[in-house]
Amino acid sequence: MRILLFLATNAAILVVISVVFQVLGFDGILAKNGVDLNLQALLVMSAVIGFGGSFISLALSKWMVKRSMGVRIISNPGNDSERWLVSTVTRQARSAGIGLPEIGIFDSPQPNAFATGMSKNNALVAVSTGLLRSMSSDEVEAVLGHEISHVASGDMVTMGLIQGVVNTFVIFLSRVIGFVVDRVVFKTERGTGPAYFIVSIVAQIFLSILATTIVMWFSRRREFRADAGGASLAGRSKMIAALKRLNAGNEPSALPRQMAAFGISGGTARGLRRLFLSHPPIEERIAALEASPFSSR
């Protein structure tokens, strides 16, 4: 249902833009200036490229992260720590109503964890060795609950869809801008001139930066929800304690760019840089939990 909703939303937005351009006479303005641009075909092409790239990245996310971060999947727990980890994730997954995700550990001295995968029943949850060493079992349980909540909410797919939507408009608008400048300003009569490619690339870079702030805003909203989910699965006091522990460390482990939005840790920034954070500041997350209606357990 989530996929159908976002696909329908994106399709509706594409239709609206097409209609608005026609009502405002944008097609006529382009035609008068010799711009033979098929906006409908461009919209379709942009959607195919935008969503295609997003979903290919999502489909390959588990494979890429296993290899790039050296995640070791726990297939047969070899010690008490691994047995506890598998038992805790199994219990939380059952409580969240999802299939058991793959459970992994990656070598990093800094505390972090992440979740990824194409669906709720085909996911991966991994924790760093630093997280297991530096946190108590209660705190690790809360972190796992946070990641399981990401999976149960379908956040990987949702963020992929959001990325697909913004990709579509970045590609579409950058091409439109390139065509307009090429034909109207530089008066290219047939085909496309160098200005089209140069302006399209510059516009795409600029629009991609703006689009990133939109995606990151959604990511920060979903972190609050995952914290609330972790509090529900493990207990509010445990979730708050885990966040305080992460805040005390103050040096979250670096994750690949495509995985940063699904890790437990986040950076800090001020001013405009704050717009590009995938996670809210931990102090704000703690404050949100303290004000939440969840009972402490």
> What is the phi/psi pair of residue 210, to 5°?
-65, -40
Question: DSSP strand E in the chain: where?
Answer: 72-73, 102-106, 113-119, 122-128
For residue 274, give both structure tokens.
């704050």
CA 183 from centroid of its chain's CA atoms: 37
- Please tell me the distance from the alpha carbon of residue 275 to that of residue 213, in angstroms, as a whole number: 5
For residue 34, give both structure tokens.
């010799």
Q: Are 3 and 157 in contact (CB under 8 A)?
A: yes
Residue 182 identity: D
For residue 86, give both structure tokens.
């598998």
Q: Are 61 and 262 in contact (CB under 8 A)?
A: no
Residue 226 identity: A
For the annotated catalytic residues, the residue numbers are 147
Residue 97 identity: G
- Please tell me the distance from the alpha carbon of residue 244 to that of residue 34, in angstroms, as a whole number: 61
Among 156, 155, 153, 173, residue whose Cα is nearest residue 50: 173
For residue 115, give both structure tokens.
């979740």
3-state DSSP call for residue 108?
coil
3-state DSSP call for residue 101?
coil
Among 158, 162, 106, residue whose Cα is nearest residue 129: 106
